[in-house]
A = this chain, B = another copy of it.
Amino acid sequence: MSDEEKGGSAWRSLGEFIRSQRELANLSMRQLAEIAKISNPYLSQVERGMYKPSADVLKNIANALHMSAETMYAQAGLLDDSDEDSHHGVEHAIKLDPRLSVQQKDALIRIYRSFVRNE
C-alpha cells in the first residue's frame, strides 16, 4: 500500500511524550487521569504505548497538560495530510519570534545547539 505507514510506533512515542509532559508538570498519574477524565490504569497503558487513545481522550489530556490539542495531534501523527506544520525546527521558530531581541535569539540558539550536540 502506498499510503503512510500505519505503524504503532507513533503511538508509542506519543506515550513517552505524554509521560514526559506529565512529569514536567509534576503530576501523578491519578491526578492527571482525574483531570483528563480517564482512569489511572488506562493512562498507564497509554503512556507505555499499549493502546492508541481516541481523539477526545487525547484532547482531554492535552487540555489537562495546558497544551493545545493540535500539538497533541501533531505528536500523535494525526495531522499529516494537508499541510504539515512548518517543521523547520526550533531555530526557525526562534528566529521568527518578534518578541525576542537579537541577543536573546542568539542565546537561545546557542543553548539549543549545545543541547542537541550532547545528544
Bound complex: CA A74 to CA B99 (Å): 16
What 1/0 flags go to A46-89 for Cβ under 8 Å of B? 00000010111011001100111111011110111111111111
Q: A90-B94, A96-B75 are in contact. Are A82 and B68 (CB under 8 A)?
A: yes
Most buried by B among A89, A101, A107: A89
What 1/0 flags go to A89-118 for Cβ under 8 Å of B? 110111111111110111110011001100
Residues A81 and B59 in contact, CB atoms below 8 Å apart: yes
Q: Which of B20, B21, B59, B93 contacts A78 (CB 8 A)?
A: B59
A117 to chain B, nearest CB (A): 10
A interface residues, Cβ below 8 angstroms from B: 3, 6-7, 13, 20-21, 23-24, 37, 52, 54-56, 58-59, 62-63, 66-71, 73-76, 78-90, 92-102, 104-108, 111-112, 115-116, 119
Q: 7 A-B residue contacts at CB 8 Å?
A: A54-B54, A59-B78, A69-B80, A90-B94, A99-B119, A107-B115, A108-B115
